[in-house]
Structure formats: structure tokens, C-alpha cells
Chain A
Amino acid sequence: MSQSHRLPAGGRIDRSRSLSFTFDGTRYSGHPGDTLASALIANGVHLVGRSFKYHRPRGILTAGSEEPNALIQLGLGNRTEPNIRATQIELYDGLTAASQNRFPSLEFDLGAVNDTLSPLIPAGFYYKTFMWPQRGWMTYERAIRRMAGLGRAPDGPDPDRYEYRHAHCDVLVAGGGAAGLAAALAAGRAGARVIIADEQAEMGGWLLSEGDTEISAKPAVDWVEKAVTELAGMENVTLLRRTTAFGYYDHNWLGLAERVTDHLGPYAADHLPRQRLWQVRAKQVVLATGAIERPLVFGQNDRPGIMLAASLRSYISRYGARPGKALVVFTNNDSGYRTALAAHHAGIGVAAIIDSRAEASGPLPQSARAAGLRIYEGHAIIATTGRLRVDSVRLGRLAASGDRIEGAGFGIPCDLVAMSGGWNPNVSLFSQSRGKLDFRAEDGVFVPGQSFQPLRSAGACNGVLSTADCLAEGFAAGAEAAREAGFANRKPAALKVTEPDCPAAAPFWLAPPEKPLARAKCFVDFQNDVTAADLKLAVREGFQSVEHVKRYTTTGMGTDQGRTSNVNALAIVSATLGMEMPAVGTTTFRPPYTPTSFGAIAGRNIGALFDPVRRTPIHEWHAAHGAKFENVGQWVRAWYYPKPGEDMHAAVNREVKAARTGVGILDASTLGKIMVKGPDAAEFLNRVYTNSWLKLGIGKARYGLMLGEDGMVRDDGVTVRLGEDRFLMSTTTGNAATVMTSLEDYLQTEWPELKVYLTSVTEQYATITINGPKSRELLAALTDDIDTGNEAFPHMSLREGTVAGVPARVIRISFTGELSFEINVRASQGKAVWEALIEAGAPFDITPYGTEAMHVLRAEKGFIIVGQETDGSMTPDDLGMGWAVSKVKPDFVGKRSLTRSDTVREGRKQLVGLLTEDPKEVLEEGAHVVQVALQQPPMAMLGHVTSSYYSPNLERSIALAVLKGGRALIGKTLSVPMPDKVIKVTVTEPVFFDPKGERANG
């Protein structure tokens, strides 16, 4: 339990309380304020993972969200989460963490054989190797997949809750370090509505880690506390901690992921969501996202115990940990000395400072000299040793050219290496906003250039390095942003900052290794195991675009998206190509900045709330009477009503029979209904339907086909004329909204001169269809003001009156070929009327039927269903429905397309019927139809089966299909090849039952 590597004092941790946690089953302790990474370091643990490809032992590289190595499997059961950065996991009591990508254990990992074999598996190995034989991939893939990936996803559904917040603000500040806090203060004081988000548990950024910095003559953390207190006191400011601005989208719309209770583990209050996704629209944005330290690329620079120099300062100053006893610093700039001094003051032995520069003369190197630290100027690390932890470095003197070593190398024992290659401004969000990057050659960094959205960058992300400059830029950016958003303000006075002077780094991209480069293991991308040799190989093999190099070598991919590696990789690629870095360019920065959980993105839109569910007014009756349901778009429709002991087949057969022999009843309320009103309503219908509508009598109904301008069938339905200027249009269930939108489009933009008003009334009415020879008697029993006689109430006409005592519109139409009435009543009365019909229908053995029976009944008649017989490529003629197209109308939507060369050509697919040789054989919908079935594909396909059912009325199977030149094939025998057999079919007319259509008129 002892924290063997904890400094006796210091750090922003609460030493009065201890927290217990386990890592790979071993119990350790830490303090509130620790991250998992700092707690492990305080317990002397550096080895935390195995690398992706070579399974090399890896340690903690950074202290922030850019961490490429320390990826942890956190938690247990369905709450377990893979690939979480140990540097971001806040410690809580009882935390359970495990390393990833190792078997059987972290210390002894069989996959490490890949490391020994590494010369055999360079960049592109998988692309080059697993090509032959072609079918071998099926086998390779399984093995490769097992080896690939890092953590393990939970097996069950996520038990946690997530939520959304939508917000607007005047100024959004991304980042809560020196610049961000200053910007929020300036904007907040001006009265602007400010949201400031920072990914860490505490605001303050690097100020929390720099013990040697003073602001206004007090420790920098005092200023942080004062600033946060002031911001928290402003009503117009929202402070979001543990919140990552992960995506910058168009028009200043940003995505923020707030980890509300992750840090509490099992102690989170039930009423709080685990995470909250903020969608913020900001008038102005201030990016204060800081900078990320650049690793140095040298031989075996990936061993546990080797970390970034500033991160080491963070572990010492912020977390009070002692990451080692003997430190070697390798740097190309003065900030490495800052780390050496911090370690020295904390009592960590500094074995050597190795500086790639020939001379180091700034104030920090001078302080280091004064402290008696050993400095090797003009030297570089050329190799390291140590299996599970670095135990020595080897160094050598750099030639003046910097690309080779002069003389013999020598070793220095150590257990800790801090490296600093300078600072890369964190330009991810800026680039996501489409901003252009400029290259600053003096220290080899990309800084924000031209921007295309109302934003400004401030502080380290803008390329400045000192705290004073960060504060000044932050105040200025915040004030300016507020002003642009309409809040006048004065410029705040500059703050006095005391900190060591730390000028920009001189680029040093690749330390010449002791071994030949191909075997030297100079890692550029730690997470994906990409070395300098891999990058050079990719260039030699012809990859010149940095995007191609990225995909070939995988550099810059993974959970860290190359946060620490991209610029180094780019520098090595440009040097190999002999090009300038800006000419090679960067890879594209895309959201999310750091991995964002699917849970947060889904929010509450899961399970029952995923999609709205629409139920008819009669739904409860169906449910109470044992109906099985099916989804039709968002609608839930009764599918069939099995009686005890009946399977689906038996139930549907019974329903289909009843609808042709007695009376069936169907809930058709889901059909789309649009009220078309206005003096030009008839003219409007005349233009949107293919047939003519001007002369349709009041009280008459007509079937219409609607086409797209391309001449393809889009929708169909029956429309009735209620009055001179009123029509009630019906659409298919799934297309109602699309049809409405399209009609509005024509009315508003093409024919604004037409006086027509459209109203969707789908949900205002319940529609009940009674169907079958007894339906007239049933209707007559429930109405005393509608004459139901065949002459008085002919087919395709409408009567208004009362049914079961309530006002109703009754339309005599048929989708089954039987005598059939569609009764429309107010939605609120639908269920009562349905029940009245069921009761009055008892003497006729009334049978409720569902959508399946409805489909069989219409297929027996060869009636199409839009979306089943059509797929956006069928013309009316293809469907044998040329009769529904007017030959005389001058214009209707799609008219011209019906005479395009492609729509009139021979060999288009046409609707036909298919009868199987074996009447019991029911074809599969979607099955392909061929002239002659061959032993194996490819075979010339004639078309496919669109509808297929068993018809109890015909006592055999029936099918509809669309076949090339189908009508000419009627009478021919074709084949339907299936995996286990070939089914012979005969092509027929698509109408199987009552071809003369006498029953509906009876």
C-alpha cells in the first residue's frame, strides 16, 4: 500500500485521504487529485501497456490527453471501457484498471515475438504479405483480427445514462489554461455570455504544473484560483470542467463532451448522467488549446521510464510524485533544463543533460550549470537499454551536420529519461474549423493562419510560449471576441509574470542512432509502432503525399491521432523527400479531438426513444385481441391475428379466406391522407397525377399514379372529390410525408399561381376497411342514412352519413378485388366504430385481418405496392398500368420522361406473374429469375421476384416479378436458382384471381 515513489511534500493532491485501487490485480493506493497515471508513478509503476504491433513494453509518456501509450481497460462488467488514457482517469476508491494487448501478462507477453521479428514486418507488411492466395484472406483475416485492436468492448448494453445540452453563447473559450482563463475573464467582465470548457478536472492548464512561475508576485496557482472564483461568480459565465471541445463544425457550432460522473466511479449520484454532450452555437470562439510537447526521435526511445520533459515536471510539481532516482534529460531547447532543475530541487538525481545544440547559454542552462548538473552539449542519445524499464542511455557526440555521431558512444545508467523536442501548438480545433496553417521555420511548428469562422487563437496554441504572452493574448482575444459579439469593454492591464526565459526550440528531428536505422527502433508514432525507418521506407516505395504515408504506415492514426507524432513524422518525410515541410503539408485534422463515447453521441436516443412510434387509434383493440404487429415506417400495424394454436400461415390463410367469403375488417388508418383545397385543386391534381381529374364528379373516387419528373412511379392512391374545390387524397403509408413535401414544392415554386392549400390529415381520421361479399349487409346494419344498394352506392364513389351513430365518409373502393367499403371517421371515434362493426359483424363471422392477409389479397389481384413492385426505376408501362396515363393532357409531372429513349426501349423490366411447378413451393422474395440455371454464377439475370405468397383461395403459391421483356415471356418456363435447388416457374399475367374484376362490382 505504500506509495514508494511519492515526494514527501508538495503537489495538488489531498494527502489526508488515501484511495485504494487495483492495476492488473495488484492493489495500490493514491490520493484524491491523482490521475491513475500519477498514482501508478507514485507507486513506482512505469510499465503500463504493450504496443500495438510489436508488443513492446510501454510506459507513461505524457501527463495529458495526448497520451499514446498508457491506454487502460477501465472498470468491470458492462461498464468496462477500453483504451482510456491513464493520464485522464481521476482516481476514486476501488478503481479497477487493467493493461491491454498482452498475453498472458504485461511482464511476459507472447506477442512480443513480433518485436524480435520486427525486421520482417516493416510498414505495409500486411498489404504486401496477405495478398496470395486470394481466398486465403478469409483465414488470415480471422487471425489478424484477433491480434489487432487493443482493449475489449463490453458484451452487454451500456447501463449508464447520457444526455444532450444545446446552448448558445456569445463567446466560447476552448481551454482553461492561462490564455483561456484570461480570455474568459475579459469576455465575462464585458458582460458577454461565456462558456469556458477545459478537459481537465481543474482549470489552470500548465500553470498547475509550473512551480517556478509567479503572477503578480504570487504563485501562478493563486492567480488560477482567483480567476476561477471570479468566473464562477459571474452569472453570464458557465465553467465546464472535464469537458473536451472535441469538434468544431460549420458556423461556429461546437461539440463538447462533458464527463459528468466518470471521475466518481460507483459514487456517482443516480440523478446525474454519466456524460453530457453539449452542442454549442457560439457567436465568437476563442481557442486556447495550448501546446503539446514534441518527443525526440532516437534509438529505442520508447522504453518505460522515458517521458516528455514537461510531463515529468507535472508529475513532480502537480502530483508530488518521484518518477525515478536517476534522470537523464535529452533536449533541443532550454525547457529541458527547466525539468532538470525541477527534478534536482525535488531530490531526484540528475545524471546528465544531453543537449543536441552545440551550445546552450540561456538563463536556464546557466542555472543548471550553477547547480552543478552535468551537461553534454552537442550530444545525442543513440540507444537505450533496459527490458521493462530503461536502465541506461548511450550517447555520442554529434557531428556539425547533426546527422551522424563522431567517435565512440558511451553509456550513462539511469531509470528515467525526459525528452523535449520543443512545443507543437495544438491546432486541431483551428484546423477542424477549416483554418489554414502557417509554417514557422525557426522552430519548425505549424501556427494558425487565415481562419474562415469567427474565431481567434490565443496563447500556446497560437505559437507563443511564455506565460506573460499567453495571458496577454488571452485577455486581448477575450476582449476582442466580446466586442465583436456586441459587448464594449476596456483592455485589461497587463499582469506581471516571473518565470524562467525559455526561447523557442531549434528543430532536431532525428538523432542518428547507433545501429543502422532499420534496426534502431527510432519510434515516431508510439501508439502505432511507426519508426523513422518505416517512414523512409514508405517514401522509398513511392508514397509522396503525407496522407498516403499516413495510411501506408499508420502513423498518426489510433486513439491519439498522432498528437505527439505528426509533426515529427512530417519532418522526416519531408527531409527524405528533400522538400520543405509546408510543401508536404499536414494530414487533415478531423473531429473528435479525443475519443468521444458512443453513449454521449447517442444520448437518450436509444431503445424505445430511438425513433418515434406511431400507433393507430385502434391499436389497443388489436393488442388486446392478440395481434402480431409489424413496423411500416414509423407505424406499428397489425400483421395478423393468430387464434390459439394457429401459426402465422394458418392465421393468414384463415383471414384471406374470410375476406373473400364472408367479411374481413382491416385497420387502414395509416394510409396517408392529404386534404387538397382551393379553386384550382382539380387543375393541381391534373398536373401531379398521370390521369385526368378535371371532370371527376363530386362524390366520385379515382385511382391515380404519381411520377417523378424522371417518369418513374413514386406513389399511388385513391383520391375522392368531396366538393367543387375539395379533394381528399390518399397516399401509401410510408410515403405520406414525402408526397406532401413534393406537392408543396410544386405549389410554392413551380405553380405559385394555383390557388390550392394542402393539409395533412392522416392522423385526424381513422380508416376502417370492411371487405368481402357480406360487407354491404354489415354496413347497412350500422347506417340508416346511407343507401348501400349497388346502384345507389356504386364502386368508386363516396357517401357521407353516419355509421354506428357517428359522422362518417364511406368510400366504396377495393384493394382486394372484393366488394369493399372504406369507412373514415374522426380518429377519436375510430375504436368505438371498429368495436361496433365487430359486434354487428358477429352474425357474419367477421374476421379482422392484418397487413399480411392484405398483401396476399392484393397480390392475388396483381395490385402493386409502391416500394415493393417498384424501386424508383419502374414506369407505369413497366407495371402494365399504361391505362392510368392520360394520352391527351398537355402536361403532368414526368410526362416528357415517358418518351425518353431509355423509357421506351425494348427489354425494360416488366411486371408479370410467376407460378411454380410445385404449387406448394413459395418463392423467396428477392430471388433472381434466369433463363437457364447454370452450375454456379455468373448467370444472366432476367429480373427478380417482388412479391410471393401462398394463396389459400387458389390453393397454390403465387408470385409477382419484374423481368426484362417480361410480357413477351408469358407462357415460358424459367428458373429460379436457389442455394440448394433450382425452382422451375411459368410466367403468367400478373392477375391470378377474378381477372375480369367482377367481384368488386357485385
Chain B
Amino acid sequence: MLTIPCPWCGERDVHEFRSGGEAHLKRESRTDNLSDAEWADFLFLRANPKGEHAERWYHVHGCRRWFNAVRNTHTDTILAVYKPGEAKSEVSQ
């Protein structure tokens, strides 16, 4: 049961959040030139690292805002949180 520091609200229980999967996937607005394989990569393929993972979270039962977090998937430690549009924080353990 994680505690997640929402960048707007502060530390809250994971029950208030919804996970949104891998962060920093780039959605192209003009997709006509993308091959099926490139599009499938965006659509279906996700990183599944053991260790640091940048991912999206939604504070659904709070400020209802999305943000990004870097979580160690092995220890479940949240290493950093940052707002959408901000660059992925450089985190070192």
C-alpha cells in the first residue's frame, strides 16, 4: 500500500490514485506516415523494468490531476514525482 507524494497535494495514500502506465510515450498527431510496426510499438509495447520506471499517475480522488513518478518497481520506492510536461527527473538511488 504505497504512499505517493502528489506534486500538488503532498503525500497521500495510494487509494486516492489511479495508475496510468508508462510515462513519456510520444503520441504523434500526424500518424499517416507511421508504419504498422511503429504504431503498434506506441500502442502495445511497454517497458517492464525491474528497477526505475517513469510512470503516470492520476490523483483521481484528490485534485484530479495527472503527474509522473519515478518508481523502483523492485522496492516500490517512489524516487521522484514531477508535473506533466516536465522532463524526467534524473534520479539516482
What residues of chain A have their CB less than 8 Å away from a CB belonging to chain B? 249-251, 253, 279, 281, 434, 452, 709-710, 741, 744-745, 748-750, 752, 890-891, 895-897, 900-901
Contact = CB atoms under 8 A, between A and B. Distances in A.
User: 5 closest Cβ contacts across the A-B interface?
Assistant: A896-B31, A253-B1, A749-B84, A748-B66, A249-B1
Nearest to B28: A896
Contact of A901 (B31, B36, B66): B36
A749 B56 contact: yes
10 contacts: A253-B1, A710-B43, A741-B60, A745-B58, A748-B65, A750-B27, A752-B85, A891-B30, A891-B31, A900-B36
B46 interface: no
Contact of A251 (B1, B66, B84): B1
B82 interface: no
Interface string B69-93: 0000001100000001100000000
B34 A744 contact: no
A900 B29 contact: no
B58 A741 contact: yes
B84 A748 contact: yes
B51 interface: no
A900 B39 contact: yes
B31 A895 contact: yes
A251 B76 contact: yes
A1 B31 CA distance: 87
Interface in B29-44: 29-32, 34, 36, 39-40, 42-43
Task: Assign chain B's interface to a size class.
Answer: 20 to 34
A251 B75 contact: no
Interface string B1-42: 111000000000100001010000001011110101001101
Contacts of B13: 281
A758 to B, nearest CB: 10
Contacts of B64: 744
B88 to A, nearest CB: 14
B76 A890 contact: no
Contacts of A890: 29-30
Given A452-B75, A890-B29, A709 B66 contact: no
Contacts of A250: 1-2, 76
B70 to A, nearest CB: 16
Contact of B34 (A709, A752, A896): A896
Given A709-B43, A890-B30, A895-B31, 18 more contacts: A251-B1, A251-B2, A251-B3, A253-B1, A253-B3, A281-B3, A434-B75, A709-B27, A741-B60, A745-B20, A748-B65, A749-B66, A891-B30, A891-B31, A896-B39, A900-B36, A900-B40, A901-B36
Nearest to B65: A748
Contacts of A710: 43
A895 B42 CA distance: 13
Contacts of B36: 900-901
Nearest to A895: B31
B1 A891 contact: no
A736 to B, nearest CB: 14
Contacts of B39: 896-897, 900
Contact of A741 (B2, B18, B42, B56): B18
B79 to A, nearest CB: 13
Nearest to B27: A750
Contacts of A750: 27
Contacts of A891: 29-31
Contacts of A895: 31
A756 to B, nearest CB: 14
B11 to A, nearest CB: 10
A745 B27 CA distance: 13
B58 to A, nearest CB: 7
B84 A897 contact: no
B6 to A, nearest CB: 13
Nearest to B1: A253
Nearest to A252: B3
A710 B43 CA distance: 7
B81 to A, nearest CB: 14
B85 to A, nearest CB: 6
Contacts of A748: 65-66, 84
A966 B34 CA distance: 30
A182 B29 CA distance: 63
Q: Could you say which of A279, A752, A896 has the most chain B C-beta atoms within 10 Å of its C-beta?
A: A896
A958 B40 CA distance: 39
Nearest to B72: A452
Nearest to A434: B75
A895 B75 CA distance: 39
Contacts of A900: 36, 39-40
A968 to B, nearest CB: 25
Nearest to B39: A896
Q: Could you say which of A250, A890, A895 has the most chain B C-beta atoms within 10 Å of its C-beta?
A: A250
Contacts of B43: 709-710, 897
A9 to B, nearest CB: 49
Nearest to A744: B64
A253 B1 CA distance: 6
Contacts of B65: 748
A466 B1 CA distance: 35
A432 to B, nearest CB: 12
A747 to B, nearest CB: 9
A250 B3 CA distance: 8
Contacts of A901: 36
Contacts of B3: 251, 253, 281
A281 B12 CA distance: 11
Nearest to B3: A251
Contacts of B18: 741
B90 to A, nearest CB: 21
B55 to A, nearest CB: 12
A710 B44 CA distance: 9
Contacts of B34: 896
B18 to A, nearest CB: 7
Nearest to B23: A749
Nearest to B33: A896
A454 B30 CA distance: 48
Contact of B66 (A249, A253, A744, A896): A744
